[in-house]
Structure 1
Amino acid sequence: MKLVFCGTPAFAVPVLEAVIAAGHEVALVVTQPDRAAGRGLEVHLSPVKQTALALGIAVTQPDKIKNNLELRERLESIAPDAILVVAYGRIIPQWMLELPRFGNINLHGSLLPKYRGAAPIQWAVANGELVTGVTTMVLEAGLDTGPMLLARTVPVAEEETSEDLFVSLAAIGAELMVETLAGLEDGSVTPVEQDHSLATLAPILTREDGLIDFSRTARQSYDRWRGFQPWPGAHTTLRGKKLIVHKMKVFEGGGTAAGELLVDGDRLMVGCGEGSALELVEVQMEGKKRMAAAEFLRGYQVKSGERLG
C-alpha cells in the first residue's frame, strides 16, 4: 500500500518501521512541530521525525491541519491507500478521514471500547487491570468510537509500570498494524462496530492525578503509582511541603491509620484504607535530592505517628 503516517512519540516508531519492513510505501510522515525543552530550551525532534529522516522519508510538521490547504493538496496528490495514525496528538479533520480508500487506521493502546481517550495505557495500569491490549480501528469524528479491525490482548504483570507496558504494546501494536493492512488488502479484515454501551474513558492525565489519597487501599495507590509513571508520578505532603514518592510497594504487614506514618528501623510505612499500608522506598522532599527511606529517616528525623497529606 501507499501510506501516509501520522505519529509523534516513541510509541509510534515501531509501527513506522514495521510497515516499511513489510514492503509498504510511506510517502509522507506527518508529525508534531519541533519543541524547545529543558533549561537551555534546546530544540528536540520527535522520535518519529528522527526515524523518518534516518529512513529518508519526507516529513511535514504543520502547526494546524484542519484548514491547511497546503497539506490537503499534498495528501491529495499522494492519494494514499490509507493514513496511519499512531499517537499523533492532533484531531484528524473530516477531509483527512474521507481521503484514503481504506480510511485512517489508528492503533489504540487498549482493548476498545474500554479506555477511549488520551491515556489508555496509563489508566489501565492505574486501575489494576490484569489484561489489556491494542486495537486497530478506523478513525471517525468521535473520540475513539470508530469501527474496530483487529485486537490483541496482553497480560499486565502485578509490578509492571505503564512505562514498561508502553514498550511491549508498541512492539505488539506494530505487528498488529502490519497484520491489519494485509487483511484490508486481501479482504479478510472488515470493520466491526464497537459496543458503545461498554465504553470507558481514559482522560488526559493531570498533575492532580498523582496526589496520593490514603483512603484508597495500598494496592489501589500502588497501582496508580505504576500507572502514572513517569508522570505525574505520586506525591503527597509532609510538614506542609511536597513529598514525591519515587518508589513504593505494598507492605504485607498490618497498617495504621490512613495517612499516618510508621517507622520500623530503616523502613518507612504509611497507613492506607481498609487497614492496609504502603512502604515508601524512595522519596524526595520538594527542592531536595532523591533519598532511600533509610537516608530520609535519618536526615529528617521522621517519627511514627506523623501524618502525610
Structure 2
Amino acid sequence: MKLIECPRDAMQGLPQFIPTQTKVAYLNALLQVGFDTIDFGSFVSPKAIPQMRDTAEVLAQLQRKGSTSKLLAIVANLRGATEAAAYQQIDCLGFPLSVSETFQQRNTNKSIAEALQDVAQMQELCQQKGKTLVVYISMGFGNPYNDPWSAETVTEFVEQLHHLQVSTISLSDTIGVADPENITRLFSSLIPAFPGIEFGAHLHTAPHNWQEKVVAAYAAGCRRFDGALRGFGGCPMAKDELVGNMPTENLVTYFENIGLNLGLNKQAFDEAMAQSGVIFL
C-alpha cells in the first residue's frame, strides 16, 4: 500500500499566501510520517498558481534526513518539467493530462494532442535525469463541461501512455463525480490489462461519500491512494466551486481498520496534523 500525501493540492487554492517558512515547517513534519511520496509543490506560472511561487525556495529548506518519502512536483509544460528535473532532491514529476479537451486548455493552455507531445518529451527527460513521471488522468471519471467521457476513452489514454513507457498513472476524480460503479469498472479493467503500470487513485470527495470510493478502488486492486490532511483543497482550474481532497486521516483509519500495516510514524502523523491546523484552520 502506498499513501501519497498532497499538501500542494490542498494549499494551491487558498486565497491568502502561506508564508514560506510555514510551508517548510509543514512539509518537514510530513517528511517524518512515512508517506511513500509527498506532492510538495509545483513549477508552474506564478500568475496561474500564485500560492506555489516559492516552490524552489521551499525545496531548498526541506530536511530529507531520516525520511524515506519521495518528493513530487507538479508541472504544466516542458519548461516547468525541465526546471523541476534539474533539482536532485525531486524524485517525481507529475503532469495533468485531461480526458476533457476543455479542461486541458484551462489547466495547461494546450490541446490534448499538444499535451501528449509534452508527455513524450517529459518522459524522455525523466528517463535521462533518473526521475519518475507520474501522469494524472484528469477528469478521469467525468467532467462538468459536457465533453465526451467514457471508460473506453480513459483506456485509450492509458494505451497511449503505455506506449510512451509511462509507468505510474493516477486516475483523478478532479471534481468529485466518481462513484463506486465507475471506479470499479476502470480499475478492475485497467490494472490486469497493464501489469507494468502502477495505477493510483486521486479522488476528490465530499465528506459523506469518501469511504465508498476507497472501498471500490481497493477492492478493484488499487494500492496507491492520494490524500491530503483534513481534506482541504481541490483544483482551482476545474470550476468555481472546489471539491475537497480525500482526507488522509480517513484513508489511514480505513486501511488500519481492515488490518493493513501502513508503516507510519504515529507521533509524526499527529505532529503533522497539528501543523496542518496552522494552515487550514
Q: TM-score, normalised by structure 2?
A: 0.30
Q: Which has the higher helix share?
A: 2
TM-score by length of 1: 0.28
The structure with more radius of gyration: 1
**Higher RCO (C-alpha 8 Å, min separation 6):** 2
